[in-house]
A and B are shown apart, each in its own frame.
Chain A
Amino acid sequence: AQKITQTQPGMFVQEKEAVTLDCTYDTSDQSYGLFWYKQPSSGEMIFLIYQGSYDEQNATEGRYSLNFQKARKSANLVISASQLGDSAMYFCGFCSGNTGKLIFGQGTTLQVKP
């Protein structure tokens, strides 16, 4: 069975600095997708970035980049130049290419300090 782990329940970062949110996964699937979502206090889940298991380059979307290390089964999210609006909960997601089931880690609460 697949498992996804986020080991940091909460993190602080100074405004304008970069921060890395950790995510590791466990799977025997060859084909899978990794996702990061942001959940502000309003509750809605906002898609940030996607990485496919066969993608050789790390995904980037604006200030977000995904540090994909396949052998280590990690998919860390890097947010550059943090902004106050980045304060939210962040979820790492894993989708199996075999079952199509999308599961999430426990989440990391990020607080950006002015």
Chain B
Amino acid sequence: KAGVTQTPRYLIKTRGQQVTLSCSPISGHRSVSWYQQTPGQGLQFLFEYFSETQRNKGNFPGRFSGRQFSNSRSEMNVSTLELGDSALYLCASSRQAQPANTEAFFGQGTRLTVV
């Protein structure tokens, strides 16, 4: 069965622009989580969606937002891009709302470069 699909794989944007990243979870998975990975900060949790509702949110400014559709696909949006937003953005899906005994499966990520 298909894995987690993230599009696009690579993206270059200029400061001040906005960007939308997409994540299609594994079929049947209803939970989608987003992470930002940078060399300095490591893997940081952005937010988690389950059944179109945001269940958890990390410590990021309001420029970072997301949503989940009825088919469980999720998008995250970053507005007014800053140079520091350059990172690998990873999406993970799991079958349920991330209970403690369900592993999350990750996509290959979207590498965003802000210039």
Contact = CB atoms under 8 A, between A and B. Distances in A.
Interface of A: 31-33, 35, 37, 42-47, 50, 52-53, 91, 95-97, 99-107
Contact of A44 (B55, B98, B100, B108): B108
A33 B100 contact: yes
A11 B28 CA distance: 38
B104 A103 contact: no
Main secondary structure of the interface of B (DSSP, over half): strand
B97 interface: yes
A37 B90 CA distance: 13
A50 B94 CA distance: 14
A102 B104 contact: yes
Interface stretch (B14-22, B42-50, B60-68, B78-86): B42-50
B107 interface: yes
Interface residues of B, number: 27
B56 A99 contact: yes
B33 interface: yes
B100 to A, nearest CB: 4
A33 B101 CA distance: 6
Contact of A100 (B55, B92, B106, B111): B55
A44 B107 contact: yes
A100 B88 contact: no
A52 B42 contact: no
B92 A45 contact: yes
Contacts of B90: 43, 45
A84 to B, nearest CB: 22
Contacts of B108: 42-44
A100 B97 contact: yes
- Residue of B43, B48, B50 ringed by the most chain A CB atoms within 10 A: B43
Query: Which 7 pairs, one residue from A and one from B, show the smallest C-beta to C-beta distance?
Result: A33-B100, A45-B106, A100-B98, A97-B100, A104-B43, A101-B56, A106-B42
B109 interface: yes
B101 A50 contact: yes
A107 B109 CA distance: 17
